[in-house]
Amino acid sequence: MNKYSGKQTFKLFTGTVLLAALTALAPVQAQTQKAKPALVQRANQALDLAVKQYKLMAQHLPDSLLPRSTNKDGSLMTSNSHWWCSGFYPGTLLYLYEYKKDASLKTEALKRLALIENEKNNKGTHDLGFMMYCSFGNAYRLFKDPAYKEVLLTSARSLSTRFNPTVGCIKSWDHGAFTFPVIIDNMMNLELLTWASRTSGDGSFAKIAKTHANTTIKNHFRPDYSSYHVIDYDGGTGAVLQKKTHQGAADSSAWSRGQAWGLYGYTMMYRETRDKAYLDQAKHIADFILNNPNLPEDMIPYWDYNAPGIPDVPRDASAGAVAASALLELSRYTTGKDATRYWNAAEKMLTSLSSPAYLAKEGENNDFILMHSVGSFPHKSEVDVPLSYADYYFVEALLRYKQWGK
């Protein structure tokens, strides 16, 4: 009897077909937008400040820990490698090394990569994309070290164990009162899987990513294309049990970073697959954000678009940074007025983030780059403070703007 029979044969066939489709894709036809010289100058100034801040961070950070935020007493909040944000500090260092070619940034990045490498075996989190692709992914892109490739492939295999084919999603959490929770943030972790398919020749990774993205389109979005934060599924039947929030203002509200995660995730999935459904979804999410009556004039969102007390509520610079980076990329896959609108919106966001209203002064802000982000307002956790991922996506967006606007 053939080794591969029944469902196994089907899985092998579909994975092979999907991989062939991914690897045969021609480059996305990118719309060309022109960067404004004044904003390029401001971007360079912000990046130069970021280099100074992160070199100071390297001096102040304990050797065995990673930066996370600021404590309520004003001191530096750190984490170990298990925290979902552990990859952002080395990832930002690598982006800054790419910009400045300062060897000390590379040395510090490699030092911190060693702290998180063992997370490649962590099957208890959906955040391996954040943790490993933002760090080791950038390292492999820049240095092509085969050891980094193996770390990433092992990470992809670990992440894949959390996929439930009946639900059609990767499980987010193993804790709390939910049965099989899936959060919108999880869209960001799919890039690790699509990369793993292209790199390894195993189409099953990309198949998981596409299935998760399709299920999320089906269940996570309201008619106006705002997103629920958490969908709780029955792991045995795939039925939706609850549509809830964990970090938003209410189950029915639009938590601002969640909208940015969705925008970035579907833009990335279009780049990776050329599936027009993902491009359409990204455009719908972008339009929800940009047309929202509660989007402030400076384009940096409140922590939730429906937060009680607007306008006297905290902003979330991290949501602005993620959205800016995503909008720059989305502008490249659209044409005409859409492309110009998304690019211009990103420019406004970056102009605001690189202004004194959000950009820290040298030696302040516990050596982080951006001020005024919000982790989880309902839990009174990381409110109006710097966050490592705000810095990461801000630096990414600045580099994208300079590169794509030439």
Q: Could you say which of 185, 202, 232, 391 is catalytic?
A: 185
Task: State the pLDDT confidence band at 17, using cuts at 50, 70 and 90.
Answer: very low
- Which tens digits make up the pLDDT trace of 238-290? 999 999 999 999 999 999 999 999 999 999 999 999 999 999 999 999 999 99
Cβ atoms 401, 332 nearer than 8 A: no
Q: Using CA atoms, how far apart are residues 256 and 226, in angstroms rounded to an integer? A: 9
Cβ atoms 46, 390 nearer than 8 A: no
pLDDT at 203 (0 to 100) = 97
- Compute φ and ψ for 70, nearest 5 degrees: -120, 135
Q: For this structure, is 102 an active site residue?
A: no
- Within 10 angstroms of residue 161's Cβ, the number of other Cβ atoms is 10
Domain ranges (residues) in the chain: 27-60+255-406
CA 378 to chain centre: 21
Among candidates 96, 45, 38, 32, which has minimal Cα distance to 347? 38
Q: Using CA atoms, how far apart are residues 93 and 112, in angstroms rounded to an integer? A: 10
Secondary structure of the chain in the HEC alphabet?
CCCCCCHHHHHHHHHHHHHHHHHCCCCCCCCCCCCCHHHHHHHHHHHHHHHHHHHHHHHHCCCCCEEEEECCCCCEEEECCCCCCCCHHHHHHHHHHHHHCCHHHHHHHHHHHHHHHHHHHCCCCCCHHHHHHHHHHHHHHHHCCHHHHHHHHHHHHHHHCCEECCCCEECCCCCCCCCEEEEHHHHHHHHHHHHHHHHHCCCHHHHHHHHHHHHHHHHHECCCCCECCEEEECCCCCCEEEEECCCCCCCCCCEHHHHHHHHHHHHHHHHHHCCHHHHHHHHHHHHHHHCCCCCCCCCCCECECCCCCCCCCCECHHHHHHHHHHHHHHHHCCCHHHHHHHHHHHHHHHHHHCCCCCECCCCCHHHCCECCEEEECCCCEEEEECCHHHHHHHHHHHHHHHHHCC
- This prediction has a pTM of 0.94
Write down the architecture of domain 27-60+255-406 according to CATH. Answer: Alpha/alpha barrel (1.50)
Cβ atoms 333, 30 nearer than 8 A: yes
pLDDT at 145 (0 to 100) = 98
Bridge partners of 126, per DSSP, are none
pLDDT at 176 (0 to 100) = 85
- Which tens digits make up the pLDDT trace of 163-189? 999 999 999 999 888 999 999 999 999
Q: Using CA atoms, how far apart are residues 281 and 219, in angstroms rounded to an integer? A: 13
Task: State the pLDDT confidence band at 10, using cuts at 50, 70 and 90.
Answer: very low
Q: Using CA atoms, how far apart are residues 71 and 143, in angstroms rounded to an integer? A: 35
Average pLDDT score over the chain: 94
Q: Could you say which of 48, 63, 73, 127 is catalytic?
A: 127
pLDDT at 13 (0 to 100) = 41
Single-letter amino acid, residue 218:
K
- Which tens digits make up the pLDDT trace of 72-86? 999 999 999 999 999
Does position 29 have pLDDT exceeding 70, yes or no? no
Task: State the pLDDT confidence band at 25, using cuts at 50, 70 and 90.
Answer: low
Q: Using CA atoms, how far apart are residues 298 and 301, in angstroms rounded to an integer? A: 8
% of the chain at pLDDT higher than 70:
93
Q: For this structure, is 391 an active site residue?
A: no
Does position 94 have pLDDT exceeding 50, yes or no? yes
Cβ atoms 264, 322 nearer than 8 A: yes
Does position 334 have pLDDT exceeding 90, yes or no? yes
